[in-house]
Structure 1
Amino acid sequence: MDDFSTDAIPDLSGTTAVVTGANSGLGLQSALVLAAKGARVELACRDRQRGAAARERIRTETGNDNVHLRQLDLASLASIRRFAAEQEKPVDLLINNAGVMATPHRTTADGFELQFGVNHLGHFALTGLLLPALRQAPAPRVVTVSSLAHRGGRIDFEDLAAQRSYRPWNRYNQSKLANLLFTFEFQRRLTAHGEKILAVAAHPGFANTNLTAGMNHPATLDVLGAFFRLLGQSGASGALPTLYAATALEVRGGEFYGPGGPGQLRGRPALVTPAPQASDPETARRLWDISTELTGVRFAGLD
């Protein structure tokens, strides 16, 4: 694992990968590598124009024309349902990558606080609705991208809509903790029911991507931008833990991968330990039940 590179990824011809937020950043880097290895890649993007540009770049750089743009807005349950209903191929790999970070207080089309709604609830609903397509694949995996920020997270069950208070970073941390709680609870249920799907989590460390674009705080953006450029690893390097979790044969369900360097900020992929609050099964079950109630999406056969 210490010397993992994209050269170690096997041929993926005949497989289908769905990557959310694939028009830029870590999602684009992941999609580029998967396409280069021969996979059919479905770019699940909110912005059609940026998605189309990413599709053409991937096709040009990899020589793989089996790269397709599909519109998906994770801030809209209607869009998520439409996307899943139109899924024609079995899904071998679902990469829940898209996200927003430390945005001003906004809500999704369904009234959820934006960061919790997009980063967690959107991917929760998408995964549940794509469950039939995942079950059709021979060895399916779901990789959900979390963050080191989960360490500072806690689930505010009494104010998930952020109606009482809103601190952008606290809400981001909460959403990234929710990604891990979801992954671990999903795998517990898959294991209990003898399912072949693997649920795995990854984080990029400190990666220089465009995730800060939605923050809308110019002074903060200037400082963060300089900090990321100085200390952050490239998007290609930041995508390696996700790609390892998605393709390495030794990966097991319920594992968490991130950079193996000091502080998990950079370096080659390694198996990492989540913060203690991410491993609390009671919190995970409560979050699962509330997510089901809020989205109306049930994971058939896993209740």
Structure 2
Amino acid sequence: MTHRILSPFGKDTTALEIVQNLDLAGKRALITGAASGIGMETARALATVGAEVYLAVRNTEVGEQVSNQLRQETGNNQIFVLPLDLADQNSVQSLVSNWQGALHILINNAGVMAIPESHNAQGWECQFATNYMGHFALSLGLHSALKQEGARVVSLSSASHQLSPVVFEDIHYEIRPYDPFSAYGQSKSANALFAVEAAKRWATDNITVNVAAPGIIATNLQRHIGGLKVPEQYRKTPQQGAATSVWAAVSPLLEGVSGRYFADCNEAEVMTQANRENRFEGISQVAPWAIDATLAARLWNVSLELLAGVKLV
């Protein structure tokens, strides 16, 4: 039985507090969805302490504005923008094929939430395609860069993973009625399971893979649900929301640690029935299905099969 990993940080810690006294000069970090919200704050924190930071974003015009802003604010000129549409496997493979050299930090941060029903070119449900399959393909494609000098991969989940496990019998809502929130929850359960299996498969490559749940933050992610309907005491700022991702990416405490689920800069407790009934009390917990090794292995194989069927243009 492994012991829970705890830190001196918590819910109110900011990303900049995490990186105090660290020096990331010579380290290269790629963050998806870094043009706003917690992705932007993650980039800011890493750039502040000298990392070479790549913002992988769908809207490169906005990305360039953000990178210019961060260069001015951090004094770090090594901030670059890469085009990436995670729902488009051609876009993912383009980034992968153009990447050169080692990658030390990969933060799979981007996501869409509770969008109307839609499917990508492969027929994949778009939240699963964007939040999970895009990042799965990106991570696999960058594997050789990640193992060059040893790397940390951070996969972003969410307390919303508690809304749904991965429903293997109907991942893409071909049979069951579409529900935007369960679809989001399924994609975030998938992100957690990715870390569990990648940690096992990549253990000998000196790559660690962990899960970060940012908490409840008002960002562009909620634009499809009319804003955030959460009691004030459970909310975080984007700066606080980025803290767990940054902590998982840089904390000396996590050297060699892999396959764990973190929330509020600490390893999460497994969700109990009592807290499931009060969903706000259970925000920082992890559902058993999101860390199940058997489900993780099954999802990995299903994901490989899905990628094998992709016809790139």
> Is the alpha carbon distance of 1:76 and 1:85 closer, same or farther for their aligned partners in structure 2, counting shifts above 3 Å?
same
Equivalent-residue separation in structure 2 for 1:296 and 1:78 (angstroms): 13
Task: Report the secondary structure of 1:19's partner residue.
Answer: strand
Q: Does 1:236 align with 2:239?
A: yes
CA distance change for structure 1 residues 228 and 64 in 2, over 3 Å: closer, same or farther? farther
Q: Which residue of 2 is the match for residue 263 of structure 1?
A: none
Instruction: Tell me, yes or no, if structure 1 residue 177 matches structure 2 residue 214.
Output: no
The correspondence for 1:199, drawn from 202, 209, 220, is 209
Matched letter for residue 245 of structure 1:
A
Residue identity opposite 1:235 in structure 2: P
Give how far 1:226 is off: 5.7
Alignment of 1:271 onto 2:260: no
**Deviation of residue 256 (structure 1)?**
1.7
The whole-number CA distance in structure 2 between the counterparts of 1:61 and 1:249 is 26
Which 4+ residue blocks in structure 1 deviate beyond 6 angstroms?
none
Structure-2 residue corresponding to 1:90? 102
1:70 to 74, 82, 88: 82
The answer to whether structure 1 residue 8 and structure 2 residue 11 are counterparts is: no
**Which residue pairs with 1:158 in the alignment?**
169
Name the TM-score, length of structure 2 as normaliser: 0.85
Q: Does 1:105 align with 2:101?
A: no
- Give the aligned partner of residue 265 of structure 1: none
Greater CA deviation, 113-122 or 250-259? 250-259
- 229-238 or 168-177: bigger deviation: 229-238
- Per-residue deviation, 1:150: 1.1
Q: CA deviation at 1:9?
A: 5.3
* In structure 2, distance between residues paired with 1:32 and 1:282: 37
Amino acid at match of 1:234: T
1:167 aligns with 2:179: yes
Q: Secondary structure at the match of 2:24?
A: coil
Partners of 2:121 and 2:83 in 1: how far apart? Answer: 16
State whether residues 112 and 130 of structure 2, in contact with CA within 8 Å, keep that contact through their aligned partners in structure 1: yes
Retained in 2: the 8 A contact 1:206–1:228?
no
Distance change (3 Å), C-alpha of 1:59 and 1:161? same
1:246 correspondence with 2:249: yes
Give 1:212's match in structure 2, choosing from 213, 222, 225.
222
Give the match's secondary structure for 2:262. strand
State the distance in 2 between where 1:276 and 1:156 align: 14
CA contact (8 A) 2:108 2:135 kept: yes
Distance in 2 between residues matched to 1:122 and 1:257, nearest whole Å: 22
**TM-score normalised by L of structure 1:** 0.88
Q: Identity over aligned residues, as a percent?
A: 36
Shift of 1:2: 2.1
Aligned to 1:22: 34
Report the CA distance between 1:89 and its aligned residue.
Answer: 2.6
| 1:35-65 Cα shifts (integer Å, max 9, x gaps) | 1110100100011111111111111110111
Q: Which has the higher contact order (CA 8 A, sep 6+)?
A: 2
Give how far 1:272 is off: 1.1
2:66 corresponds to 1:54: yes
Q: CA-to-partner distance for each residue in 1:143-197, whole Å, 9 max, x for gaps?
A: 0110011122211112122122210000000000001111001111223xx2200
Correspondence for 1:256 among 243, 261, 266: 261
Gaps of 5+ in 1: 260-268, 298-303
